[in-house]
Amino acid sequence: MSTLHQIHDRELLHAIAGVNLGFHAPAAVLEGLTGEQATTRPPGAPHSIAEITAHICYWQDFFNRIALEGFTGAPAHAAEGWPPCAAEEWPALRDRFLAVVSQSRQIARECPGLDQKILPEGLEIPFLNHDTRGTGVLHGAIHSAHHLGQIVLLRQIMGLWPPPAGPLTW
């Protein structure tokens, strides 16, 4: 059996799962965007803000479900992790993503079995081979933080930054 990655500090996992350690929280990054703004793909950009948000929502939810229910399978193709989002769907998508982030934080604090291996015996998926349910939640949060940085850059390019909450200062 290979070594499993573990995270035993639930408060640290709770903080990381909120995707707001030292930078804007997800709600602030997405704040104030209209459906039209969120679904606009700037010239040269491979994705819109809404497409990226749908993607991070998909994967953070994927890891949350694993933590809560165990592994039930992975998508067959990467494209499944990039669901579409129309302008009129933006408010619901934004709210769903923020709810998924909130659920990640709750899982970090309360979910039993975070030290259990994600994959069933005999199944190998290279990027999950060493993960536990807890490190899966960590994966989801780090993945979201990566893409939230892309959203900040897209907002800057589009002249939509800083968000209504203002720039991050300390």
For 156, counting Cβ atoms within 10 Å of its Cβ (0-12 exposed, 13-18 middle, 19+ buried), the class is: exposed
Report the alpha-carbon distance of residue 20 to residue 102 in Å, rounded.
12
> Tens digit of pLDDT for each residue in 151-169?
999 999 999 999 998 887 6
Report the alpha-carbon distance of residue 34 to residue 148 in Å, rounded.
17
Enumerate the domain spans of the chain.
Answer: 11-157
Mean pLDDT, residues 53-81: 95
Largest CA distance in the chain: 51
Residue 23 has pLDDT above 90, yes or no: no
- pTM score: 0.94
What's the half-sphere exposure (Cβ side, CA atoms, 13 Å) at 105? 14
Arch. (CATH architecture) of 11-157: Up-down Bundle (1.20)
Write down the pLDDT at residue 170. Answer: 60
